Amino acid sequence: MQSEYLNPFDNNQHRFFVLMNDKDQQSLWPHFTNIPAGWHVVFGPDERENCITFLSDL
């Protein structure tokens, strides 16, 4: 059975941003989607694993 990702946030083949809002909340965000209002890029685009490492170092 072929593995398919229904949630783009779980797909390691995508590139991601690390976003932050004015409350210093962080989010992992797929590169191919629009950045939501109130959020800005603090890292990326990069591989998902590198973004998670960046988040763990904050």
Domain of 36: which CATH number?
A: 3.90.820.10
3 falls within a domain: no
Q: Given this model, what pLDDT does residue 58 score? A: 82
Residue 27 belongs to some domain of the structure: yes
Q: In which domain, by residue range, is 45 found? A: 8-56
Residue 18 buriedness (CB in 10 A; 0-12 / 13-18 / 19+): buried
Whether residue 56 has pLDDT greater than 90: yes
Mean of per-residue pLDDT scores for the chain: 91
Domain count, the chain: 1
Q: Which pTM was predicted?
A: 0.84
